[in-house]
Structure 1
């Protein structure tokens, strides 16, 4: 127990210390929210990856989908790497950085307002972001606090409050750079930790082959005729598996806290390096987490009621297979993943609400000093609101996460991507995408017609389909505005020969 407490205390000290150190780099709104748009490849890539994966993936999703799909759940991690990281960086990285700098936009709602010539989009989008990032944040608190309760025997409520306090301190003090530098440190811890966990989980069942053999004889409730369903290529329910891949991979390109990382990229070199680093990071972290979760049925004992409590599967696996010291390492791993995600959510929601809602509607003459003060106050309010939701025992981690990702990506994905690439995207299509994406997920939350993950996947696909269709039949934006908007891609820039070759003169 002493070793675990010492490790956690050391981690807390480093985290807060980085926050205090970065305070001098957070003296204005641009530095606090964007790090001065001067963040290098390693920090950007790790900030992206650690914001992507948290206790929600390691505890909630790995437990539930490992239980439902077996080894095939590893496809979710592969999708996260190839679609959620590689494709996202290739498609969005450069264009997001260029166009948001062209508009001088620090937030996604401001981008929508300027790209589509509609200030009302800024106000509505800011409210959507603040409202639907709260359940995501709450799901992270639940996953993290559940593990802390298992490892230290501390009441769940005190775990939530303690983690919330730490998040508030280093984000409010240091802003984006504090979060990004902590992400780099935390990402390194995550890479080493997940490898150790997978090795011990397999060794606890006699090694790789023995673990697979034991899992292969367990029958599936959803596909009883399929022998070895939990070690098969696509698992017992391929369609449901596809829905989770879409939600957790394609959905990242519409999440404001993920896209925000591209606003801060320093230069072209950072994009190339960041693409490779973040993809490999996702492959190890997400692939390892879901692969580990696949063996939950070998460790978890179903309660007398006959239904597994998905949020408890991974904690029980770790408690029964890992030595005490390694549990401390896992706590640091999950704490690292979760703190980085929480900091990203807090900064995104509070800055968006301040700059796009309060300043845009109520306090148009707000000075930079007052803006910074409001952002910090809203950071605290956002954390408190998330804690209240996390303390509700009836809210499952995956349900909260799916509602948040599905609603945000379903509302924003189509308008954001098409706004970067296509002149024909219209203002009306953005409003329709907002309504449909949120409508599907909220309706399913109160009147369920499918699983939360499937509803989120439907909303995301709908956004990509509805946005161009509505754009074809609604009034177009003015040609002068479009010319100015897309002129940013035609601007000539100087570059070293190691990046660009000059044409050979005849």
Structure 2
């Protein structure tokens, strides 16, 4: 207990100290929200990765999908690395950085509102962002507090309150730069922590090969040995999970905002590689670890305590020093994601929603003060929901996260992607995409709450859980936007051609970057 307490106290002290140190970078809105657009490759890549992977992944998804798919759940982590990180940086990174600066956009709603020349779209995007990030934030508290109950036997509500207060302190003090530096520290802990935990857990059954052999012995009435097979017992469902957790990041405001703040071209290239390697280790490691859950937990235990109890049970028998490392690891993952979520929510509400509704321009000081107040309000709301949710019958972290990701990615992925690459995207198409994504996930939420029962084979398939409906929302949005745009060219923003000129500016580069236009001899 002494070791665990000292590590946690040191961790908290460093986080708060970084927040206070970074106050000098958050004296204006640009510095508070984007770090002055001067954040380097390592900080940006780690901020992206730690915002991506949290207790929701480590406790919720790794436990649930490791149980369902067995060792093949590792594909989810690899999908996160190559689709959610590598492709996201390659396709969105450079263009988002260029156009967001050209449009002077600091948030996703501001970018969409300016790109499509519509204050209504900006206000709607801000409202969607704020509302659907709340359940995601609540799910972070849930996963972290389960591990703290295991390690310290502290009441759930106390864990939620302590985490909320400490995160609020360093984000309110230091803004984006504080979160970026803390994300780097937290990400380093995650890299070493997940590696140590995997080795320790697998050693209980004779290492990797011994654990695989034990997984092969687990009975499955339909497919014997399926839990250590290449694609597991449900390949289609596995694909759905990979798509939601990987492609979904392309439309999440707290993820895309990292591209607004990166320093330069070199940082984009380096950050792409760093982010991908980080995801391979952390996400791949989490899902790989969860794939061996059936060696530690019985079906009866899962029925009694839920999927969210699998990872804590796997870790409960570790030595005290490793338990301490796990607690700091998950604390790092959760606080980094939480800080990103609250900064995203408060900034879009203060910079986009309130001025848009009130039709008045606020001073720089008022915006900064307002964002800091809203950070505290957002954390308070999320903490209350987390405590209430823990006592309700909706206990699956994955369901909460799925609804949030589905609504945000279903609403924003296609408008962002086409807005960066296709001049003919229209306001009407974006509005339809907003409506479709949010309404679909509201229906899903009603289904999850038991307020609505879908009828018909197709509806039952789509709404069987938030993962299927979330992927359906994203894929449909990629079709809805171009189809509606073709039919509504009259609503295309008049200044689109001028917006895209930012990509045509000539830049002089070194020969090591480009060989030039010389013809082959």
TM-score range, shorter chain: over 0.9
Listed as ranges, the matches of 1:466-477 within 5 Å are 466-477=480-491
Pair 1:323 & 2:329 matched:
no
Pair 1:309 & 2:295 matched:
no
Report if aligned partners of 1:116, 1:477 keep a CA contact under 8 Å in 2. Answer: no
Deviation at 1:477, TM superposition (A): 4.7
Report if aligned partners of 1:86, 1:275 keep a CA contact under 8 Å in 2. Answer: yes
Relative to the length of structure 1, the TM-score reads: 0.97
Pair 1:489 & 2:503 matched:
yes
Report if aligned partners of 2:34, 2:176 keep a CA contact under 8 Å in 1. Answer: yes
Specify whether residues 109 and 173 from structure 1 end up closer, same or farther in structure 2 by C-alpha distance, changes over 3 A only: same
Listed as ranges, the matches of 1:351-362 within 5 Å are 351-362=347-358
Stretch deviating more after TM superposition (442-451 or 363-372): 442-451
Aligned to 1:336: 332
Pair 1:231 & 2:228 matched:
yes
Aligned to 2:285: 288
Deviation at 1:478, TM superposition (A): 5.3
For 1:300 and 1:162, the matched residues in 2 are separated by 30
Report if aligned partners of 2:42, 2:274 keep a CA contact under 8 Å in 1. Answer: yes
Relative to the length of structure 2, the TM-score reads: 0.94
For residues 319-353 of structure 1, give each alpha carbon's deviation from its aligned partner in whole angstroms, at most 9, with x where no partner exists. 02x11111001111111111110010010000000
Specify whether residues 496 and 304 from structure 1 end up closer, same or farther in structure 2 by C-alpha distance, changes over 3 A only: closer
Aligned to 2:416: 416
For residues 150-188 of structure 1, give each alpha carbon's deviation from its aligned partner in whole angstroms, at most 9, with x where no partner exists. 100101110010000111000000000000000111111
For 2:185 and 2:198, the matched residues in 1 are separated by 21
For 2:207 and 2:518, the matched residues in 1 are separated by 59
Aligned to 2:252: 255
Deviation at 1:304, TM superposition (A): 6.6
SS at match of 1:45: helix
Pair 1:275 & 2:272 matched:
yes
For 1:19 and 1:306, the matched residues in 2 are separated by 42
Pair 1:213 & 2:213 matched:
yes
Pair 1:462 & 2:476 matched:
yes
For residues 109-156 of structure 1, give each alpha carbon's deviation from its aligned partner in whole angstroms, at most 9, with x where no partner exists. 111111111110011110100000011111111101110111001011
Report if aligned partners of 2:189, 2:332 keep a CA contact under 8 Å in 1. Answer: yes
Aligned to 1:372: 368
Deviation at 1:454, TM superposition (A): 1.2
Specify whether residues 116 and 305 from structure 1 end up closer, same or farther in structure 2 by C-alpha distance, changes over 3 A only: closer
For 2:246 and 2:155, the matched residues in 1 are separated by 34
Aligned to 1:243: 240
For residues 264-319 of structure 1, give each alpha carbon's deviation from its aligned partner in whole angstroms, at most 9, with x where no partner exists. 01001001100000000000000000000011111124447945511111011100
Listed as ranges, the matches of 1:23-422 within 5 Å are 23-220=23-220, 224-303=221-300, 306=303, 309-320=306-317, 322-362=318-358, 364-391=360-387, 392-393=389-390, 394=392, 395=394, 396-422=396-422
For 2:265 and 2:121, the matched residues in 1 are separated by 30
For residues 362-398 of structure 1, give each alpha carbon's deviation from its aligned partner in whole angstroms, at most 9, with x where no partner exists. 1622100000000000000110111011112233211
Q: CA RMSD in A?
A: 1.4
Pair 1:444 & 2:440 matched:
no
In structure 1, the gaps of 5 or more residues are none
For 2:125 and 2:483, the matched residues in 1 are separated by 21
Report if aligned partners of 2:428, 2:491 keep a CA contact under 8 Å in 1. Answer: no
Pair 1:9 & 2:6 matched:
no
Aligned length: 502
Specify whether residues 375 and 140 from structure 1 end up closer, same or farther in structure 2 by C-alpha distance, changes over 3 A only: same
For residues 465-492 of structure 1, give each alpha carbon's deviation from its aligned partner in whole angstroms, at most 9, with x where no partner exists. 1111111111345585121011010011
Report if aligned partners of 2:116, 2:492 keep a CA contact under 8 Å in 1. Answer: no
For 1:55 and 1:493, the matched residues in 2 are separated by 42
For 1:341 and 1:306, the matched residues in 2 are separated by 29
Deviation at 1:358, TM superposition (A): 0.8
Specify whether residues 369 and 461 from structure 1 end up closer, same or farther in structure 2 by C-alpha distance, changes over 3 A only: same
Specify whether residues 202 and 304 from structure 1 end up closer, same or farther in structure 2 by C-alpha distance, changes over 3 A only: closer
For 2:343 and 2:301, the matched residues in 1 are separated by 43
For 1:248 and 1:272, the matched residues in 2 are separated by 23
Report if aligned partners of 1:424, 1:476 keep a CA contact under 8 Å in 2. Answer: no
